[in-house]
Amino acid sequence: MENAHSSPAAAVLQRFGVQESCGLSPEQVRRSRDKYGPNGESAPREVGVPVWGGRGR
């Protein structure tokens, strides 16, 4: 679903087959994890200098 973040909750729940009262079933979680990987796995973040220069006051 494109732009799920801006869609009505009822439409998102229906599209993904989720019950609001209990969330995803264990099987849905397994399928999503197999397809997309576990939460938290993303590209490494670059560590940069904050816009304010990175120095405390």
DSSP, residue by residue, the chain: -TTGGGS-HHHHHHHHT-BTTTBS-HHHHHHHHHHH--TT--PPPPP---TT-S---
The Cα 7–Cα 19 span in angstroms is 16
- Unique residue bearing structure tokens 């439409």: 11
Locate 17 and state its tokens: 């087959």
Compare 37 and 50 and report the one with higher pLDDT. Answer: 37
Q: What is the pLDDT of residue 48?
A: 75
Locate 34 and state its tokens: 């197999």
Summarize the confidence of residues 20-46 as an average pLDDT: 83
Whole-model pTM: value is 0.48
